[in-house]
Amino acid sequence: MAAEAPAAPAPKKAPEKAPAPPASTGPVPMTRREFLYYIWGASMLLFGGQAATSLLWFAYPRFRAGTFGGVFEVDASQIPAPDSGPKAFAGGRFWLINIGDENKSDPRTDGIQTTSGVKALYMVCVHLGCLYGWEPAQNRFNCPCHGSMYTPSGHRIAGPATRNLDCFEVEAVDASGAVLAKTDKLNGSLEATAIDVTNAAKLKVNTGSRIMGQPA
């Protein structure tokens, strides 16, 4: 009897393929960590910008012309005549005085050199900050608070004040805007010089540039 042939092996099944991931339908959602990171970064940028803006604002102040702290333009017609007494400019807090030969040789200056020309005197007394006034009959400035007295050119005469009046920087310019003369410091000291206003069309008084009076 013939032997039976061995049964053919069953065919192997092909391995099943893993299902394909679903197609993307939009952006990948942001995680909580990423969200907090972006919020922190934006906050730091905003804070840094505000700090930089504040620093620039205080480091570079801007004053409008014609307001205290800025530049006042005075037409030549408003400049007082020599030895005629000062003229008040309340908005700029200064007196404009034109020192002539009479006030230049004023013996009350006690030998201090005084130049002829125009000065812009700060209206505030150097003692304790009161507003002093002009006394035409006495040809001097008097402080009503504590009795300090000053010559027309701003030199201390008497009182508790220990130095001369402060001045503002002045430029004399011609019709084209060219600078003819400018306030300087007298002999390298704190004292401001008077300037020659001959041929000046106007003056520019810089109330943001104050020169302290020399100790008396």
Question: For position 187, what pLDDT does the model report?
Answer: 59
Does residue 187 form part of some domain?
A: yes
- Evaluate whether 103 touches 83 at the Cβ level (below 8 Å): yes
* Lowest mean per-residue pLDDT among 30-34, 99-103, 122-126: 30-34
Report yes or no on 5 lying in a domain: no
- Whether 44 is in a domain gets the answer no
Q: Is residue 21 part of a domain?
A: no
Q: Which domain holds residue 116?
A: 71-211
CATH number, domain of 91, equals 2.102.10.10
Cβ atoms 73, 203 nearer than 8 A: yes
What is the domain count for the chain? 1
Residue 46 resides in a domain: no
Q: Does the pLDDT of residue 90 top 80, yes or no?
A: yes
> Per the domain annotation, does 109 fall within a domain?
yes
Average pLDDT score over the chain: 80
Q: What pLDDT shows up at residue 57? A: 42
Residue 138: burial class (beta carbons within 10 Å; 0-12, 13-18, 19+): exposed
Q: Residue 215: what pLDDT?
A: 86
| pLDDT-derived band at 205, boundaries 50, 70, 90 | very high
Instruction: Classify residue 181: in a domain, yes or no.
Output: yes
One DSSP character per residue, 47-87 reads HHHHHHHHHHHHHS----TTSTTSEEEEEGGGSPPTTS--E
- Domain contains 128: yes
Q: Bigger pLDDT: 106 or 92? A: 92
The closest alpha carbon to 194, from 117, 127, 113, belongs to 117
Q: Read off the pLDDT of residues 127-136 as tens digits, 9 standing for 90 and up.
A: 998 999 999 9
User: What's this model's pTM, rounded to 2 decimal places?
Assistant: 0.68
Q: What is the CA radius of gyration of the chain?
A: 40
